[in-house]
């Protein structure tokens, strides 16, 4: 079992819809969770991080964390074509020091 | 701040040659990470440093890979000898810890022919 798993997609949503991206992790002791966006040919850029169970909102983005079920999700409201990218989930695995373990990413396509 | 600076942006080399990738972290960041990204395996951590000291090099594939951080503003990743399977994008990232996540450099696209 991979430590951090994501559906590779592509996930296609129409412009203006809500995109829902999911990530599961294997280590129950994981403490912190991050979402990065990566455009094709570019480097990952941090969108959000979340540490506590529940929701965290930042503009059109909402991160959701459920430690009991070991999943974290990212919702993008009012999706725009400019949101089309690969979204990477990253987890600070317990006992892993300060390193982040990344999922392989979900490709999102927002269609006009 | 100019962000994390990596050089070169692209490197094409022949199998067997030595390759050196360079990274300048953000000033004040005391953690530096080297990742490799491929389509098949995604982002893999190779090694990371804290205050210029290597903390975890368990991701370094084999003895052909080595990394150094002689001071707080410079790190190198060296591959000697290079092989075609080393072809990937190599990212350097820096941070002040995991609380705020990492800032990535633009990456070095390495092609070994």
| B46 pLDDT above the threshold of 70 | yes
What would the pLDDT profile of A17-57 be if each residue is shown by its tens digit?
999 999 999 988 888 999 999 999 999 999 999 999 999 99
Q: For chain A, which residues lie within 8 Å of any Cβ of chain B, measuring from their own Cβ?
A: 32, 34, 36, 42-46, 49, 88, 90, 92, 97-105
Is A99–B104 a contact, with Cβ atoms under 8 angstroms apart? no
Average the pLDDT over each of A88-102, B24-38, B41-55, B98-112 and give the range with the smallest value.
A88-102
Rounded distance between C-alpha atoms, residue A78 and residue A8, angstroms: 22
How far apart are alpha carbons A3 and A8 in whole angstroms? 15
DSSP assignment, residue B25? P
A22 to chain B, minimum CA–CA distance in Å?
Answer: 17
Contact A88, A103 (CB under 8 A): yes
What letter would DSSP give residue A77? Answer: S
State CA A5 to chain mean position distance.
10
């Amino acid at each position: 079992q991979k430590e951090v798993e994501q559906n590779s997609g592509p996930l296609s949503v129409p412009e203006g819809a809500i995109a829902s991206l999911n990530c599961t992790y294997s280590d129950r002791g994981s403490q912190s969770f991050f979402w990065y966006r990566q455009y094709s040919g570019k480097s990952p850029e941090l969108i959000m991080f979340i540490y506590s169970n529940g929701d965290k909102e930042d503009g059109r983005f909402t991160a959701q964390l459920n430690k009991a079920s070991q999943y974290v999700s990212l919702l993008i409201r009012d999706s725009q074509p400019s949101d089309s990218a690969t979204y990477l989930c990253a987890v600070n695995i317990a006992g892993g020091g300060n390193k982040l373990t990344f999922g392989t990413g979900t490709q999102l396509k927002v269609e006009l | 701040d100019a962000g994390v600076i990596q050089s070169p942006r692209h490197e094409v080399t022949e199998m067997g040659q030595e390759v050196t990738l360079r990274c300048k972290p953000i000033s004040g960041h005391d953690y530096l990470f080297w990742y490799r990204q491929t389509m098949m395996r995604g982002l893999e951590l190779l090694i990371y440093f804290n205050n210029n000291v290597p903390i975890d090099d368990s991701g370094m594939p084999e003895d052909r890979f080595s990394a150094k951080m002689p001071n707080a503003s410079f790190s190198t990743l060296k591959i000697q000898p290079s092989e075609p399977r080393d072809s990937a994008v190599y990212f350097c990232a820096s941070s002040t810890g995991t609380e705020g996540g990492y800032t990535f450099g633009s990456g070095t696209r390495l092609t070994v022919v």
